[in-house]
Amino acid sequence: MKPASLTGRSVVVIGAASGIGAATARALVRAGARVALADLAELTLPDSERVLGMRADVTRTETLDALRDAAIGAFGSIDAVINCAGVIAPGPVDRLPVEAVHRQINVNVLGTVLVTRTFLPYFRQQGRGHLIHVGSLGGIVPLAGEATYSATKFAVRTQGHRNLGVRSLPRLDRHPPAGHRGDSTRLAVLLLECAARPRGRRRGDPGHHAAAAPRGGGSLGTRPAGQAARLVACATTPVVPVAPTLGRGTT
CATH of the domain at 43: 3.40.50.720
Ranges of the chain with pLDDT below 70: 1-4, 160-227, 229-251
**Three-point CA angle 23, 238, 207, nearest 5°:** 95
Distance between CA 107 and CA 122 in Å, rounded? Answer: 22
DSSP run (H or E) holding 39: strand 34-39
Q: Is residue 2 a part of any domain in this protein?
A: no
Q: Is residue 152 a part of any domain in this protein?
A: yes
Q: For position 158, what pLDDT does the model report?
A: 76
Q: For position 230, what pLDDT does the model report?
A: 64
Q: Which residues on neighbouring strands pair with residue 225, listed in sequence order?
A: 185
CA max distance for the chain: 50
Distance between CA 50 and CA 126 in Å, rounded? Answer: 22
Q: Is residue 100 a part of any domain in this protein?
A: yes
Q: For position 125, what pLDDT does the model report?
A: 94
Q: For position 247, what pLDDT does the model report?
A: 33
Q: For position 105, what pLDDT does the model report?
A: 94
Mind telling me the catalytic residues? Answer: 149
Q: Is the dihedral of CA 20, 23, 29, 30 positive or negative?
A: negative
Could you tell me which of 40, 38, 46, 43 has the C-alpha nearest to residue 66?
38
Total domains present in the chain: 1
For residue 209, the enclosing domain spans: 10-233
Q: Is residue 248 a part of any domain in this protein?
A: no
Q: Is residue 80 a part of any domain in this protein?
A: yes
Q: Is residue 72 a part of any domain in this protein?
A: yes
Q: Is residue 242 a part of any domain in this protein?
A: no
Q: Is residue 116 a part of any domain in this protein?
A: yes
